[in-house]
Amino acid sequence: MEKLYIFALGLLIFSIPFTIASYIILSNIPLTALGIGLMILASSILLTPLESIPPRAIRAMLEGSILSLEAILEEFDISRRGYYVRADDGRVYLYVPLSEDGGPPTKRVEPSGLIHEEGDSRYLILIPPASELIKIPEISGMSLESALTYMLVDLMEVADSIEVMSDGFITVRLKNVKSHVTAGRFKSVFGSLEASIAACLTANLIGAVKVSDEILEENSKVIILEVWEHE
């Protein structure tokens, strides 16, 4: 057992008789309250996980997964911007137009295989790095802004803070972005890592999303998402 847990357990064991003695024998309310406070603190320490995955490690894992996608995009010589679409299986897929860009697929179907055809349009289907991450129960029921804050600020520490505005397009402003991925094809198809995560989350809530633009400003980055609502 870690030292901190031993300390917390010791504190808890000490605080219980201390509280009882303060109340019954000494009849001293502030000391009794101190004992209760120590019990709360000890319980809080015992409930806290000692080893959580550092945000840097989560970021590194996602950045690592980008490299294999970059290789696929290089191999197929693809550089068109893709559409993040939520499928019937609850997962978000990226539909990359292979011929001319005719907009996102209109039907929300569970994709089978790498190629999806709809009318004259053909799409390459890829799974974005954050497609499984957005299914974690912690963000279920959250608003888009809360979910983005949890994902990008709390979990991955990609940015210091987030602001979401909606006016037809969804604009996400990130302060002090820390992710620096140099994969060029990935950026042109998926958008940057933070834009890809934002698009994934938005698609999961709304339906279909395209990273329309990314603007770098002083100490902040603005991601503009174009959205299409699916039934």
Binding site for another protein (CB under 8 A): 23, 29-30, 32-34, 36-38, 40-41, 43-45, 47-49, 52, 154
Q: Nearer to another protein by C-beta: 42 or 126?
A: 42
Give the nearest distance from C-beta 90 to another protein in angstroms.
24
Hey, what are 104's tokens? 């996102």
- Return all residues near 191 (Cβ < 8 A) that are at least 6 apart: 81, 199, 211, 214, 223
Q: Which is nearer to another protein, 23 or 228 (CB)?
A: 23
Closest to another protein by CB, 16 vs 38, is 38
Burial of 36: CB neighbours in 10 Å, binned 0-12, 13-18, 19+: middle
Which strands form 121-126's sheet, in the order they lie side by side? 115-118, 121-126, 92-97, 83-86, 207-217, 220-229, 169-175, 161-167
CB of 144 to another protein, least distance (A): 18
Structure tokens belonging to residue 45: 């320490």
Residue 99 DSSP symbol: S
Nearer to another protein, 6 or 29 (CB): 29
As measured in angstroms, the least distance from the Cβ of 23 to another protein is 8
Pairwise CA distance, residues 100 & 190, whole Å: 17
Q: How far is the CB of 42 from another protein (least distance, A)?
A: 10
Question: Length of the chain in residues, anyone?
Answer: 231
CB of 196 to another protein, least distance (A): 24
Of 30 and 168, the one with the shorter C-beta distance to another protein is 30
